[in-house]
């Protein structure tokens, strides 16, 4: 809902002539003035209007005024107030934002209504522009021996016009301009005196002008801040990183600390300075591994340390590859024409569960391996149709979604005999 405030000027005092009642005349109000009064944030817009009183009041004093409005695109005048307004001001409501309006006023006394005044100047119902409200109190977020970094939040009210930027105040002798006009909500003030204490405040500026000063920041000295080492990582960094076999991956870890902490990367059983490339700056460290394999899967730890403390962050990597070798492959029983193998799953499944095992055999007198099965789904398999008295070698290979893995041989050759299982080393 939009509102308009109408204001009438003081009546011009003229002596009333002595006329008969049948000749009572109420002259037209002379002029109507419009003044912008309120702004958005209320139920609508409103204006001030000022109207001079009629010059002559033959039938007694004016008892009130009647206001009419008309949209610029319409010929129809609409009465605004149901009852005459005794004062020189009133609020006109139910205006449409963006529409253009004309207004006129009638004076009323005992004789009735005067003719209307001349229409007012056309008014467009839009929000007026004012200076913004003040920004929030600046917060000190960092400091060095010659600088202080501050942040703040924008004003709750931009004054009806976009904020052009922010600056520091200059009204008081003790305040000096610290920053040029900036659209950012943060700024680092440089060139400060080491160990000197400063306060900061901010003003918001739009095309109308600047706001009043923000509340003053807490006093802060220009000096290097000390901080215990800590990691500045998001939730994604704490998840398992999955990469495909043969590709490179980089673990980048942001950190904070003053004085600057030392950085150490580690992985059990691996010299990462040889296997990878480590790079560190004042705010982050990274480890890059080229041509990753299943052996690069596992937990990496990065440790940062300074005289103020120590922090360690684990990072888990899973390289998606074919499985590693099964473990504990052995022959559990032998008959005159068969041998039963058992084994345990690979310690490294390549990032995906083993879906099948391959079993292969080789006679001691031959070099070629022969496939026995490629579709074993248990951890044991009976190899049949073996030649009695011959010595065989056996091996098992895991397979997953990414391929057939690394084979693992039984530790010794096995002689096929009807006696109790015998395993012998066959060189």
pLDDT in tens, 43-67: 334 444 455 555 444 567 888 889 8
Q: How many domains does the chain have?
A: 4
Q: Rounded mean pLDDT of the chain?
A: 81
298 and 368 both lie in a single domain: no
203 and 242 both lie in a single domain: no
How many residues in total does the chain contain? Answer: 427
56 and 113 both lie in a single domain: yes
167 and 267 both lie in a single domain: no
Q: Provide the pLDDT for residue 26.
A: 42
217 and 269 both lie in a single domain: no
21 and 90 both lie in a single domain: yes
Question: What is the b/e burial string over 41-66, where b = at least 16 CB atoms within 10 angstroms of the residue's CB?
Answer: eeebbbbbbbbbbbebbbbeebebbb
Q: CA separation (Å) from 260 to 120, 146, 205, 226?
A: 71, 18, 39, 9
Residue 368 has pLDDT above 90, yes or no: yes
72 and 54 both lie in a single domain: yes
Average confidence (pLDDT) over 347-361: 93
Residue that is written with structure tokens 């937990």 in the block:
299
User: In CATH, what number is assigned to the domain containing residue 275?
Assistant: 2.60.40.10
Express as a percent the part of the chain with pLDDT over 70.
81
pLDDT tier for residue 169 given thresholds of 50, 70 and 90? low
3 state SS of 237: helix
Residue 327 has pLDDT above 90, yes or no: yes
**Residue 336 domain boundaries:** 327-424
Q: CA separation (Å) from 92 to 12, 45, 339?
A: 25, 9, 103
6 and 119 both lie in a single domain: yes
Integer Cα distance of 323 and 246 in angstroms? 14
135 contacts 154 by C-beta, under 8 angstroms: yes
Classify residue 359 as exposed, middle or buried by CB count within 10 Å of its CB (0-12, 13-18, 19+). buried
- pTM of the predicted model as reported, rounded to 2 decimal places: 0.45
Helix or strand (DSSP H, E) at 274:
helix 272-275
Q: Which of 186, 203, 225 is the last residue of a domain?
A: 225
3 state SS of 107: strand
8 and 98 both lie in a single domain: yes
141 and 204 both lie in a single domain: yes
In terms of DSSP bridges, do strands 284-289 and 277-280 run parallel, antiparallel, or are they unpaired? antiparallel
Average confidence (pLDDT) over 67-74: 91
Q: Which of 297, 320, 343 is the last residue of a domain?
A: 320
């Amino acid at each position: 809902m939009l509102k308009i405030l109408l204001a009438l000027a003081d009546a011009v005092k003229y002596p009333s002539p002595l006329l008969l009642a049948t000749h009572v005349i109420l002259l037209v109000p002379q002029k109507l003035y419009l003044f912008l009064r309120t702004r958005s944030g209320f139920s609508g817009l409103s204006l001030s209007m000022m109207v001079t009183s009629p010059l002559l009041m033959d039938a007694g004093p004016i008892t009130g005024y009647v206001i009419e409005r008309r949209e610029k695109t319409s010929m129809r005048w609409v009465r605004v107030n149901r009852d005459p307004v005794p004062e020189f001001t009133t609020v006109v409501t139910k205006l449409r934002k963006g529409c253009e309006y004309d207004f006129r006023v009638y004076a009323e006394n005992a004789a009735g209504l005067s003719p209307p005044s001349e229409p007012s100047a056309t008014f467009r119902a839009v929000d007026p522009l004012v200076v913004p409200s003040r920004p929030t109190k600046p917060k000190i977020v960092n400091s060095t021996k010659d600088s202080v970094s501050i942040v703040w939040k924008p004003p709750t009210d931009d004054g009806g016009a976009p904020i052009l930027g922010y600056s520091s105040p200059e009204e008081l002798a003790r305040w000096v301009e610290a920053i040029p006009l900036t659209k950012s909500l943060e700024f680092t003030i440089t060139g400060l005196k080491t160990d000197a204490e400063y306060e900061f405040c901010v003003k918001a500026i739009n095309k109308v002008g600047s706001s009043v000063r923000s509340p003053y920041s807490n006093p802060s000295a220009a000096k290097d801040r000390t901080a215990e080492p800590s990691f500045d990582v998001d939730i994604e960094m704490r998840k398992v990183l999955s990469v495909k076999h043969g590709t490179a991956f980089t673990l980048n870890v942001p950190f904070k600390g003053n004085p600057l902490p030392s950085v150490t990367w580690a992985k059990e059983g691996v010299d990462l300075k040889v296997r990878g490339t480590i790079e560190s700056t004042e705010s982050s460290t990274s480890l890059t591994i080229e041509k990753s394999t299943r052996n690069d899967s596992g937990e990496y730890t990065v440790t940062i340390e300074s005289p103020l403390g120590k922090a360690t962050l684990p990072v888990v990597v899973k390289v998606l590859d074919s499985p590693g070798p099964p473990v504990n492959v052995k022959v559990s029983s032998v008959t005159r024409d068969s041998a039963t193998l058992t084994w345990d799953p690979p310690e490294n499944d390549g990032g995906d569960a083993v879906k099948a095992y391959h079993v292969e055999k080789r006679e001691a007198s031959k070099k070629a391996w022969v496939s026995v099965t490629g579709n074993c789904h248990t951890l044991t398999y009976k190899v049949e149709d073996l030649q009695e008295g011959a010595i065989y070698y056996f091996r098992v290979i895991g397979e997953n979604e990414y391929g057939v893995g690394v084979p693992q041989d039984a530790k010794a050759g096995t002689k096929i005999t009807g006696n109790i299982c015998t395993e012998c080393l066959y060189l």
